[in-house]
Protein backbone atom coordinates (compact mmCIF):
# COMPACT_ATOMS: atom_id res chain seq x y z
CA UNK A 1 0.00 0.00 0.00
CA UNK A 2 1.31 3.30 -0.99
CA UNK A 3 2.10 5.85 1.65
CA UNK A 4 -0.84 7.81 2.96
CA UNK A 5 0.23 11.14 1.53
CA UNK A 6 0.34 9.66 -1.97
CA UNK A 7 -3.03 7.95 -1.56
CA UNK A 8 -4.61 11.21 -0.46
CA UNK A 9 -3.10 13.10 -3.39
CA UNK A 10 -4.13 10.49 -5.92
CA UNK A 11 -7.66 10.32 -4.50
CA UNK A 12 -7.92 14.11 -4.56
CA UNK A 13 -6.64 14.27 -8.13
CA UNK A 14 -9.23 11.75 -9.24
CA UNK A 15 -12.13 13.33 -7.39
CA UNK A 16 -11.28 16.90 -8.38
CA UNK A 17 -11.35 15.91 -12.02
CA UNK A 18 -14.53 13.84 -11.62
CA UNK A 19 -16.62 16.15 -9.42
CA UNK A 20 -14.67 19.37 -9.36
CA UNK A 21 -12.85 20.98 -6.45
CA UNK A 22 -15.77 22.66 -4.73
CA UNK A 23 -18.05 19.64 -4.99
CA UNK A 24 -15.43 17.32 -3.52
CA UNK A 25 -15.54 17.27 0.28
CA UNK A 26 -12.59 16.40 2.47
CA UNK A 27 -14.65 13.42 3.63
CA UNK A 28 -14.88 12.26 -0.01
CA UNK A 29 -11.11 12.35 -0.32
CA UNK A 30 -10.64 10.48 2.96
CA UNK A 31 -13.10 7.76 1.95
CA UNK A 32 -11.48 7.32 -1.46
CA UNK A 33 -7.98 7.31 0.01
CA UNK A 34 -8.85 5.16 3.01
CA UNK A 35 -7.42 7.67 5.45
CA UNK A 36 -8.53 9.68 8.45
CA UNK A 37 -8.96 13.39 8.63
CA UNK A 38 -6.08 13.75 11.07
CA UNK A 39 -3.71 12.20 8.54
CA UNK A 40 -4.79 14.57 5.81
CA UNK A 41 -4.38 17.58 8.06
CA UNK A 42 -1.03 16.26 9.20
CA UNK A 43 0.29 16.55 5.64
CA UNK A 44 -1.77 19.49 4.39
CA UNK A 45 -2.75 22.55 6.43
CA UNK A 46 -6.00 23.06 4.46
CA UNK A 47 -8.03 21.55 1.65
CA UNK A 48 -6.63 24.25 -0.62
CA UNK A 49 -3.10 22.98 0.02
CA UNK A 50 -4.25 19.57 -1.23
CA UNK A 51 -5.37 21.29 -4.43
CA UNK A 52 -2.02 23.04 -4.72
CA UNK A 53 -0.18 19.73 -4.38
CA UNK A 54 -2.43 18.17 -7.03
CA UNK A 55 -1.70 21.07 -9.38
CA UNK A 56 2.00 20.54 -8.74
CA UNK A 57 1.57 16.90 -9.75
CA UNK A 58 -0.03 18.00 -13.01
CA UNK A 59 2.75 20.50 -13.60
CA UNK A 60 5.43 17.87 -13.07
CA UNK A 61 3.50 15.13 -14.85
CA UNK A 62 2.75 16.94 -18.07
CA UNK A 63 5.62 15.37 -19.96
CA UNK A 64 5.82 11.84 -18.52
CA UNK A 65 2.08 11.33 -18.11
CA UNK A 66 0.63 13.26 -21.03
CA UNK A 67 3.09 14.24 -23.75
CA UNK A 68 5.36 11.18 -23.83
CA UNK A 69 2.49 8.71 -24.38
CA UNK A 70 0.78 10.98 -26.89
CA UNK A 71 3.97 11.51 -28.89
CA UNK A 72 5.13 7.92 -28.96
CA UNK A 73 5.82 7.04 -32.56
CA UNK A 74 5.04 10.55 -33.76
CA UNK A 75 8.10 12.42 -34.98
CA UNK A 76 6.72 15.22 -37.12
CA UNK A 77 6.46 18.25 -34.83
CA UNK A 78 3.19 19.50 -36.29
CA UNK A 79 1.68 16.04 -36.09
CA UNK A 80 2.71 16.03 -32.45
CA UNK A 81 0.51 19.03 -31.84
CA UNK A 82 -2.45 17.17 -33.27
CA UNK A 83 -1.49 13.94 -31.52
CA UNK A 84 -1.72 15.88 -28.27
CA UNK A 85 -5.18 17.12 -29.22
CA UNK A 86 -6.00 13.54 -30.12
CA UNK A 87 -5.11 12.46 -26.60
CA UNK A 88 -7.71 14.87 -25.22
CA UNK A 89 -10.20 13.61 -27.77
CA UNK A 90 -9.56 10.11 -26.55
CA UNK A 91 -10.07 11.17 -22.93
CA UNK A 92 -13.41 12.70 -23.90
CA UNK A 93 -14.42 9.64 -25.89
CA UNK A 94 -13.58 7.10 -23.21
CA UNK A 95 -15.53 9.04 -20.58
CA UNK A 96 -18.59 9.76 -22.72
CA UNK A 97 -17.57 13.45 -22.88
CA UNK A 98 -17.63 13.80 -19.09
CA UNK A 99 -14.01 14.61 -18.28
CA UNK A 100 -11.86 16.94 -20.31
CA UNK A 101 -8.99 19.04 -19.04
CA UNK A 102 -8.89 19.17 -15.22
CA UNK A 103 -6.84 22.37 -15.23
CA UNK A 104 -9.37 24.19 -17.36
CA UNK A 105 -12.24 23.01 -15.19
CA UNK A 106 -10.60 24.22 -12.01
CA UNK A 107 -9.58 27.47 -13.68
CA UNK A 108 -13.20 28.35 -14.41
CA UNK A 109 -14.59 26.84 -11.25
CA UNK A 110 -12.65 29.16 -8.96
CA UNK A 111 -13.62 32.70 -9.85
CA UNK A 112 -11.25 34.51 -7.57
CA UNK A 113 -8.78 31.84 -6.54
CA UNK A 114 -6.24 32.58 -3.85
CA UNK A 115 -3.06 33.87 -5.47
CA UNK A 116 -1.02 30.65 -5.06
CA UNK A 117 -3.77 28.59 -6.74
CA UNK A 118 -4.18 31.05 -9.60
CA UNK A 119 -0.41 31.04 -9.99
CA UNK A 120 -0.25 27.23 -10.24
CA UNK A 121 -3.06 27.19 -12.81
CA UNK A 122 -1.15 29.80 -14.76
CA UNK A 123 2.04 27.75 -14.55
CA UNK A 124 0.24 24.67 -15.82
CA UNK A 125 -1.09 26.51 -18.85
CA UNK A 126 2.33 28.02 -19.48
CA UNK A 127 3.99 24.62 -19.41
CA UNK A 128 1.50 23.21 -21.88
CA UNK A 129 1.97 26.17 -24.21
CA UNK A 130 5.74 25.99 -23.91
CA UNK A 131 5.81 22.37 -25.03
CA UNK A 132 3.56 23.10 -28.02
CA UNK A 133 5.68 26.10 -28.87
CA UNK A 134 8.65 23.72 -28.91
CA UNK A 135 6.91 21.72 -31.63
CA UNK A 136 6.11 24.82 -33.62
CA UNK A 137 9.67 26.10 -33.35
CA UNK A 138 10.87 22.72 -34.63
CA UNK A 139 8.59 23.21 -37.63
CA UNK A 140 9.53 26.82 -38.11
CA UNK A 141 10.74 26.33 -41.67
CA UNK A 142 7.29 25.14 -42.70
CA UNK A 143 5.48 28.11 -41.16
CA UNK A 144 5.40 31.63 -42.56
CA UNK A 145 8.49 33.64 -41.69
CA UNK A 146 7.98 35.76 -38.60
CA UNK A 147 5.27 33.52 -37.17
CA UNK A 148 4.79 34.19 -33.45
CA UNK A 149 5.02 30.59 -32.28
CA UNK A 150 4.11 31.44 -28.69
CA UNK A 151 0.90 33.12 -29.79
CA UNK A 152 0.14 30.22 -32.11
CA UNK A 153 0.75 27.71 -29.31
CA UNK A 154 -1.61 29.73 -27.12
CA UNK A 155 -4.19 29.44 -29.89
CA UNK A 156 -3.72 25.66 -29.89
CA UNK A 157 -4.46 25.54 -26.15
CA UNK A 158 -7.45 27.80 -26.74
CA UNK A 159 -8.75 25.37 -29.34
CA UNK A 160 -8.36 22.42 -27.00
CA UNK A 161 -9.99 24.10 -24.00
CA UNK A 162 -12.81 25.67 -25.96
CA UNK A 163 -13.51 22.43 -27.79
CA UNK A 164 -13.47 20.39 -24.60
CA UNK A 165 -15.85 22.83 -22.91
CA UNK A 166 -18.42 22.58 -25.66
CA UNK A 167 -18.12 18.84 -26.10
CA UNK A 168 -18.57 18.27 -22.39
CA UNK A 169 -21.64 20.49 -22.43
CA UNK A 170 -23.22 18.89 -25.48
CA UNK A 171 -22.02 15.40 -24.54
CA UNK A 172 -20.90 14.98 -28.15
CA UNK A 173 -17.49 14.99 -29.77
CA UNK A 174 -18.79 17.13 -32.64
CA UNK A 175 -17.74 20.53 -31.24
CA UNK A 176 -14.28 19.29 -30.30
CA UNK A 177 -13.83 17.75 -33.73
CA UNK A 178 -15.08 20.86 -35.50
CA UNK A 179 -12.63 22.98 -33.51
CA UNK A 180 -9.64 20.75 -34.17
CA UNK A 181 -10.64 20.52 -37.84
CA UNK A 182 -10.65 24.31 -37.98
CA UNK A 183 -7.21 24.44 -36.42
CA UNK A 184 -5.93 21.73 -38.75
CA UNK A 185 -7.21 23.67 -41.73
CA UNK A 186 -5.53 26.80 -40.39
CA UNK A 187 -2.23 24.95 -40.16
CA UNK A 188 -2.68 23.66 -43.70
CA UNK A 189 -3.22 27.18 -44.97
CA UNK A 190 -0.28 28.47 -42.94
CA UNK A 191 2.03 25.86 -44.40
CA UNK A 192 0.73 26.54 -47.90
CA UNK A 193 1.29 30.26 -47.55
CA UNK A 194 4.76 29.62 -46.10
CA UNK A 195 5.65 27.76 -49.26
CA UNK A 196 4.72 30.66 -51.48
CA UNK A 197 6.32 33.55 -49.64
CA UNK A 198 6.34 35.21 -46.26
CA UNK A 199 3.13 37.08 -46.99
CA UNK A 200 2.38 39.69 -44.31
CA UNK A 201 -1.15 38.39 -43.94
CA UNK A 202 0.17 35.00 -42.97
CA UNK A 203 1.87 36.25 -39.86
CA UNK A 204 0.36 35.57 -36.49
CA UNK A 205 0.15 38.98 -34.91
CA UNK A 206 -0.58 39.52 -31.24
CA UNK A 207 -2.68 42.20 -29.61
CA UNK A 208 -4.74 44.93 -31.18
Residue ranges that bind a copy of itself, judged by CB under 8 A: 18-20, 22-23, 89, 98-99, 104-105, 107-112, 118, 121-122, 125, 148, 150-152, 154-155, 157-163, 165-166, 168-171, 173-175, 177-179, 181-183, 185-186, 188-190, 192-193, 201-208
Quick check: 147 and 190 in contact, CB under 8 A? yes
164: how many CB neighbours lie within 10 A of its CB? Answer: 24
Residue 142: exposed, middle, or buried by beta-carbon count in 10 A (0-12, 13-18, 19+)?
A: middle
Within positions 103 to 122, which residues make up the interface with DNA, using CB under 7 A? none
Nearest to 95 by CA among 105, 83, 80: 105
Q: Which is nearer to DNA, 109 or 205 (CB)?
A: 109
Quick check: 142 and 188 in contact, CB under 8 A? no
Question: Rounded to the nearest whole angstrom, what is the least distance from the CB of residue 138 to a copy of itself in the complex?
Answer: 19
Q: Which of 10, 20, 41, 137 binds DNA (CB under 7 A)?
A: 41
Rounded CA-CA distance 208/46 in Å is: 42
Question: Rounded to the nearest whole angstrom, what is the least distance from the CB of residue 12 to DNA in the complex?
Answer: 11
45 lies in the site for DNA, by CB under 7 A: yes
| Site residues, DNA (CB under 7 A) | 3-5, 24-28, 35-39, 41-43, 45-48
Amino acid sequence: MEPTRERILFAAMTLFSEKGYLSTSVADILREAGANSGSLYHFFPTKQDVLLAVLEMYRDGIYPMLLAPAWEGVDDPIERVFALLGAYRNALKTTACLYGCPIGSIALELHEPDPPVREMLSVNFEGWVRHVKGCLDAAKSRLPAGTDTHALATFVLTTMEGGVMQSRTHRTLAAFDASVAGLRNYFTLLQASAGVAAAPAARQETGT
